[in-house]
Amino acid sequence: MPEPSDRWAIFLDIDGTLVAIARTPQMVQVEPDLLPLLEQLRQGVGGALAVVSGRRLADIDRLLAPLHLPAAGLHGRERRRADGTLIESGGPEGIIAPLRPLLTAYAEARPGLLLEDKRGSLALHYRLAPAYGASVTRLARRLAAEEPQLRVIFGRKVAEFQPRGSDKGAAIAAFLEEPPFAGRRPIYAGDDATDEDGFATVNRLGGLSIKVLNDERHARSTQARFQLRSVTALHRWLAAMAGARSPEHRLTREGTAALDDAFS
């Protein structure tokens, strides 16, 4: 029997979760059925649907236009409530400014590296130059060791630098204290190491945490309690939920299939 729509609050990452990973963040493609699906979900849970992403809010809105959803950007550093109120997490902004020229020069000297300046954070991508992955990791860890207020988030072929004081789990917890999310059981879907804070928070609150595997083969280390094999599999599961089917039942069945495929 379908569960009441006011029981669930849905939180979704974007890259690698709602849309497939692309060569650069600017090259991602939104499938034609995604926006109608998100709108159907939003209505089905009474507005308790939010995006939680490493992208800036402005980039989220451009990607998902004309939808204007509650959202957390920059891994929770900026957040838009359901009523449209904008909130920015505190933090020592001064630690990012000195990194800009340093990381710019580092990327320019290594063809294929891409420095994405999100204002509140800096993301050094090596998807187009994976041979530099070890070098980027060493640099990121050295910079973090030199500055205790600097947080480095390692994702899929990217190291992102931002001030400490916010994460995706904290953003989800903040949403759950506000209408229309308050009093609901959370669902969070993500695909990367940057989503582990979100998985941990949702697990602590008795919700459903879902990792989208894509091409990953080492998902056993994740805190997510369920796994789906691809962005397409997540879309199918969300469509089933929009059709008022039981989330746990669908995850148990599809999650088992995903594990069989990933580790056989």
Q: Are 129 and 110 in contact (CB under 8 A)?
A: yes
- Rounded distance between C-alpha atoms, residue 121 and residue 100, angstroms: 10
List the catalytic residue out of 13, 61, 167, 195: 13
Order the strands of the 208-212 sheet from edge to edge. Answer: 86-88, 78-80, 71-73, 49-52, 8-12, 185-190, 208-212, 226-228
Catalytic, 13? Answer yes
Q: What 3-state DSSP class applies to 257?
A: helix
Nearest to 194 by CA among 13, 61, 70: 13
User: Cα(125)–Cα(192) distance, rounded to whole angstroms?
Assistant: 14
Write out the catalytic residue numbers. Answer: 13
